[in-house]
Every structure is written in structure tokens, then in C-alpha cells.
Amino acid sequence: MIGYYVQLALLGLRRNVWLTLLIVIAVAVGIASSMTAYTLLHTLSGDPMPWKSEKIFAPEIDLIDPNFKVPAGTRFTLMAYRDASAVINSRQAERQTAIFGARAALTTEDPSLQPTSTPVQANHSDFFGMFDVPFSAGASWSREDDESHARVVVLTQRLADKLFPDGKAVGQSVQLDRRSFKVVGVIQDWRPWPSFYNLFTDPAAVHAAGGPQLFLPFETALEIARRTAAASMRFHGGYSCLTRAPPADAGFEGFVMNSDCIWIQVWVELPTAADVNRYRRYLDGYAAELHRAGRPVKPPTRVRNLREWLVYNKVVPDEIRIASLVAFGFLMVCLVNAVALLLARFSRRNSELAIRRALGAPRSSLFAQCLIETAVIGAAGGILGLVLTFLGLTAERATLPRELVRAAQLDVELVAMTLGLAILATVAAGLYPAWRSSRALSAYQLKAQ
């Protein structure tokens, strides 16, 4: 019976073509506006590591001078170097890493390859295991390499293919700031979104290149910057002094190594609740030591897991949430218009439905027929809505900041959601018109036929 109703619905689309087209357009425009906004919200709100995000934590210590007026909306998620170093060296977590981003002049022994400014990331060896980074060749460096400031690097597959077209990057050498580094591993195309691990790295410098392309030991990177007076390795990321800023002549040691200015992201892996509680106690104890030493620590310390950290740092901007609410409000307006248009459409068919009722068709059958016809119209609106959504996302990508362009993409899940929402919304809008048409049949309509 349903198949018969679908055939009737398809035939019915030919009647009142302009009225049907208006309904389809109303549904499509409402669906496209809401799904364009929701696509961006959905991607930015996603959990980049759902299988492990409850075990990844970002420790925080607020170093604020009591006389310093903190700007509204300031986030204290980074650490000063000496605190990050102390936390890492304490070995209180199963895995831990400090991170900062930079750019460096990169080349190889091939004389035909000119040095290029490449986004790099300095981190500890635990970074790769903590975030389940997949390797296509080789492996990460070891903790011993971290401690010995070894000159080793890990490349992305994209950079390895560019530098070593023969596919044999592991064991080769690259030059950073005229210093030779050995390639120990090549990672696959690994780009979690949101890219939480380097969220505060310069977006224009890093995201334009598809994220950091080279990884090297944390202390090794600092050693290069410290020993080179005019190093081409430049830090890119957040740098805030929420205490008294170092004097202008403080140099590298004063600004980077010994100040209370924050610029390093720290992540730790804590598998169990007991590990989390123990780490909180350690961090509170460390902050108490800093306070006794006269450093401006503002309690309390915090240990946020990955999901909590993303919410705290407002990875999803409030403007996007508001835009999504406005878009879904516009969808409701379109559906109200669809209800009026469906009432007009079904009212023109009252005579036809009256004949079926007179021939013995129950009201439930007439109601089902109208609903199925509405669902077919909704499917047509969903298909058109998909086209408009794609066009909307294309326009959105042209105006978004570079770091958000990747978010504005449709996937299979969102395509299915768009079609499902279109059909569901149209059927919901057609409930009253269908019920009214199935109940309001009378002898008058039959005589009119």
C-alpha cells in the first residue's frame, strides 16, 4: 500500500507544479541555512580523540601578579618554561609532553633544494604515544634522546615525499638552521580536528601549511635558539606576561628561560581516577612551593581533561553558536510557510479525497496518503537543500579564517542528516494539513467534483 501511495505522490507532483515548487524551495532554503551553520558547529564541537579524551589532561598554574589587571576572557592554559620543565621532569604522569611551535629554515644535502621556512613543533617523545600518532615508517625518538638533546626529527608524510621522492626518508639527514638532524620516523596523514595540541600556535603560519610538518625534541629546539644569536628558528604562538614583563635587555634567557611569561602548552596522560587525584595533589604542592618562593601564584591549580579544556578555551566561538540558533530559527519560519502552502495544496485536492472517502477509503488511509506525499516533497526539498548547503559551505570557506576552513566540509553523516531532517521537518509541517484534509471531507466537496 505504501508503494501505491508513493506512486500517487510522484504523480501528484505534476499537479500544481508552482505550488509544489514553492514548498520544495521553502524547505530547501530552511534546511540549507540550518545545515550550513550546523556543519561548522558540529565539526568544531567534535571530540578529536573520543577513545582517549578522558585520559588526556592539561595542567594549569595561574601566575598572576596581584597588581596586574587581568583582561576579560584571558585563558591561563599555558605555562612558563621553568614550570613546564619542572612538571615534565617530575615524571608524575604515565606520559607527558611540553609543546611549542616555531618556524625554521629547512633543507637537505641536495644542493638543488633551496632552504624553505617550515612550520615545526618542539615536543617530548611521549607526544606520539600519548596522541596515538600513526607512523608510516620508522618511529619516534626515545626519552633518552629528549634528555641528551639529540638532533633527531620526525617528518610528516607530505614533507618526506617532498624532500625524499624515492620514499626512503628514515635514516636520511635534514638541515635546520644549518645544523644536521637525522630523520628517525615519518608519520601518516594525521590531522585531528580541532587541532587541540597546537591550538595556540600561529594559525596563519601553521594551518596554511596543513599543521606542523616537522617534529623535534623540545630541549633540542631551545638549544638551537639559545646558541644562535640570529637564529632563523622563530617561535610562533601565544606569549603572555601576566606578571612583571622582563626588561628589554633581558635577552633570550630573560624572556624565554627564566621569566614568568607563559608560552608553553603541557599535556599529560593519566589513565585512572587515582592517577588524576595524585597528579592534582602534586600540582597543588608544586604551586604551594612557588608561593613560598615568592612567585605570584593565584590558586587554585587545575587539571582539565581534553573535552573540558576545549570547552574552557571556547574552541567553538560564541558567534558560531548564535549563528546556528538563528539558522534553525529561520528553518522554523520556512516550515511555518510550508504549512500554509501545504494547506493550500491539499485544499485543492479535497474533491479527489472526497471521492476516495465515498468509495470506502478510511480516513487513516487518506491521512497516510497525504503524509507520504508530504515526505516525497520533503525528499525533493532535501536534495535541493544539499545543493544549497554545498554552495553555502563553499561561500563560507571563502570568508572563514584559514584555521577554520577545514571545518566547513560535508561528510556522509551530515549528508544523511540533511536528507533525514528535510523529510522529518516536512512531514511534521504536513501533519496538520494532512489531518485537516482527511477530516474535513463532506458531501459538498463530493458534489463539487
Q: Are residues 270 and 306 in the same domain?
A: yes
pLDDT higher than threshold 90 for residue 134: yes
pLDDT higher than threshold 50 for residue 114: yes
The HSE-up count of residue 127 (CA atoms within 13 Å, CB side) is 24
Q: Are residues 390 and 283 in the same domain?
A: no
pLDDT at 396: 65
Query: Mean pLDDT, to the nearest integer, of 369-373?
Result: 73
d(CA 208, CA 40): 19
Q: Are residues 344 and 367 in the same domain?
A: yes
Query: Mean pLDDT, to the nearest integer, of 63-70?
Result: 66
pLDDT at 25: 84
Residue 162 carries which side chain, given as an amino acid letter?
Answer: K
At 294, phi and psi to the nearest 5?
95, 10
CA triple 78-83-89, angle to 5 deg? 120
Centroid of chain to Cα 389: 19
Q: Are residues 37 and 61 in the same domain?
A: no
- Greater confidence (183 vs 412) lies with 183
Q: Are residues 299 and 323 in the same domain?
A: no
Which of 312, 327, 360 lies at the terminal end of a domain, its last residue?
312
Cis peptide before 165 (omega within 30 of 0): no
What nine digits make up the cell of 261? 611569561
pLDDT higher than threshold 60 for residue 74: no
List the one residue out of 111, 30, 97 whose CA is nearest residue 425.
30
d(CA 354, CA 361): 9
Q: Are residues 398 and 421 in the same domain?
A: yes
- For the chain, the average pLDDT equals 77
d(CA 182, CA 138): 12
How many structural domains does the chain have?
Answer: 2
Q: Are residues 280 and 294 in the same domain?
A: yes
pLDDT at 301: 85
- Greater confidence (8 vs 105) lies with 105
- Greater confidence (143 vs 434) lies with 143
Whole-structure pTM value: 0.68
Name 212's bridge partners. Answer: none
Q: Any idea which residue has 516525497 for its cell?
A: 376
Q: Are residues 40 and 91 in the same domain?
A: no
The pLDDT tens digits for 419-444 are 777 777 777 777 767 677 666 554 44
DSSP letter, residue 247 = P
Supply the range of the domain harboring residue 167. Answer: 53-312
Query: Are residues 90 and 282 in contact, defined by beta-carbon separation less than 8 angstroms?
Result: yes
At residue 285 the predicted structure's pLDDT band, cuts being 50, 70 and 90, is: very high
What nine digits make up the cell of 282? 602534586
Residue 248 carries which side chain, given as an amino acid letter?
Answer: A
pLDDT at 399: 60
* DSSP codes joined into one string, 50-92: TTTGGGEEEEEEEE--TT--PPTT-----B-HHHHHHHHHHT-
d(CA 208, CA 400): 13
pLDDT higher than threshold 80 for residue 198: no
- Greater confidence (280 vs 16) lies with 280
CA distances in angstroms from 5 to 10, 12, 23, 246, listed in the order given = 9, 10, 19, 78
Q: Are residues 23 and 139 in the same domain?
A: no
pLDDT at 132: 92
pLDDT higher than threshold 60 for residue 170: yes
pLDDT at 440: 55
**Count, residues in the chain:** 449
Q: Label the pairing between strands 56-63 and 265-269.
A: antiparallel
Looking at mean pLDDT, say which of 197-211, 291-305, 405-419 comes out highest.
Answer: 291-305
pLDDT at 277: 95
d(CA 75, CA 267): 16
Q: Are residues 297 and 330 in the same domain?
A: no
Q: Are residues 156 and 277 in the same domain?
A: yes
List the one residue out of 105, 100, 99 whose CA is nearest residue 118.
105
Query: Mean pLDDT, to the nearest integer, of 80-106?
Result: 90
The HSE-up count of residue 8 (CA atoms within 13 Å, CB side) is 18
What nine digits make up the cell of 375? 515526505
pLDDT at 104: 82
At residue 227 the predicted structure's pLDDT band, cuts being 50, 70 and 90, is: low
pLDDT at 388: 83
d(CA 337, CA 388): 19
pLDDT at 246: 72
Helix (H, G, I), strand (E, B), or coil: what is residue 246? Answer: coil
Least confident range from 155-169, 301-315, 390-404: namely 390-404
Query: Mean pLDDT, to the nearest integer, of 373-392?
Result: 79
Which of 282, 312, 342 lies at the terminal end of a domain, its last residue?
312
pLDDT higher than threshold 70 for residue 276: yes
pLDDT higher than threshold 70 for residue 263: yes
Q: Are residues 212 and 240 in the same domain?
A: yes
At residue 37 the predicted structure's pLDDT band, cuts being 50, 70 and 90, is: confident
Query: Are residues 59 and 279 in contact, defined by beta-carbon separation less than 8 angstroms?
Result: yes
Looking at mean pLDDT, say which of 17-26, 125-134, 432-441 comes out highest.
Answer: 125-134
Looking at mean pLDDT, say which of 192-201, 205-214, 300-309, 359-368 comes out highest.
Answer: 300-309
d(CA 84, CA 21): 62
d(CA 332, CA 353): 29
